[in-house]
Structure 1
Amino acid sequence: MNCIIIEDQLPAQRILKRYIEDIGTLNLIASYSDALQAIDTINTQPIDVIFLDIHLPKISGIDFLKTLPNAPHVILTTAFSEYALESYELNVADYLLKPFSFERFVKAVSKVASLRQVATAPNTEEQNQEIFIKSGYEHIRINLSDIYYIKSDADYTEIHLSAKKHLSSETLKNWEEKLEKEKFIRVHKSYLVNTSKIEKLVGNQIFLQENKIIPIGRAYKEILAQKYLQ
């Protein structure tokens, strides 16, 4: 995974660089002492993880993170525990309280790897599972792995695939009961999402493959955090 460090304290930078080198699964692209210096790299290179300090010159790590509409996974690093709640609201991957051990660092990186695996790991069973949906006078066969999300809309539901959608007379509640809960999860009163299509969680939004964005309902945010941010 490609990563960058945004940390204004050189001793802390050196520790992160050593840990990154020792873990062997991370590729350090660059290090910055100022968050604003990192914007061009984040916008132009495929960055998977940002190790982000909170107390930085010019703009804090928290405020900088709020400016990124499509941020990579973020692991916050700080000596102050009072920001833990706010970091949870921003759906960061993990929160490392300085000084942290190599073991704790590895655990944080593993969380990011797990979040990425949701979108990339193949699911042979799901790929082979098909259902028929009743759409008007037709019964249409659909592979479950092709479904991105199901949206409730008035008296029917929309089954959204990659480039098209089908209308169904079944309610979202019926779909939720019919589909396996490990493969499809309710994230909003109007949305049911295929978990294998999730790329990342950012604030109150879920980013799916092919740049599809789904809102997260307040009542479902804690459930998602427990499932993916363990």
Structure 2
Amino acid sequence: MEFAALRDEMVASLEHETKAVVESTETARAMRAVPRHEFVDAEHRAYTDQSFERLGTRVLSPSAVGLLVEALAPKPGDDVLVVGAGVGYTAAVIAEIVGGEHVHALDIDRRIVYEARGNLADAGYDDVLVDCQDGARGLPEYAPFDRVLVEAGAVRSPEALVDQLTPGGRLVFPKGASSQRLVAVEDGGVVAAYADVTFAPLLVDGEQASAVERNRTVREDREHAVRAAESRRGWEHEWIDWDG
């Protein structure tokens, strides 16, 4: 069976009333478009609704991703920050909606960052920026964001992430410790609560499996080159004859 047909079956099951986690046309279209088999190491389970482990992190089931994206409610052109890159699949689904150049993903584990970058490139989403940083601190150099999604549990809204939202922007995260509920926060308050969920806690420096290593991505190389070129306008000469 072709992968497109498998994706269609997968999304149809998520739209069905027995699960009903995907309701919007945009989320359904995005999940039908993203080749999930590029993000998992076993093609036969790429389109089954199950989660599994990879490099010490959990690869979310399609229903979990559908729930997160529906709660986030991104719109075309929104700038989105995803904290917890995982294998990159959630970021790819969001990129299908907002555009790859508008998606930024962070993970504190360098191995996971490399994995996500490779998967996204293989799937055709190499414009998504994936960086190795402490997600609790956000990504201030690219802020503000219209949407922030945290794929890790926290007892309260991470202050740095709230501060990096645009006015009226939305933060979605699993709230709680041992017992968690997915919530959406706008203007500092919870505006919606969704299903009970179970996510690993949001890590901070010193808790990651591998060391944080800041490194520039391919997309950042292009952006830095453009900024460098713009900064040289009018200053191409090595000297200026002020008296001349």
- Return the TM-score normalized by structure 2: 0.27
Select the structure that is richer in strand.
Answer: 1
More relative contact order, 1 or 2 (CA 8 Å, 6+ apart): 2
- Return the TM-score normalized by structure 1: 0.28
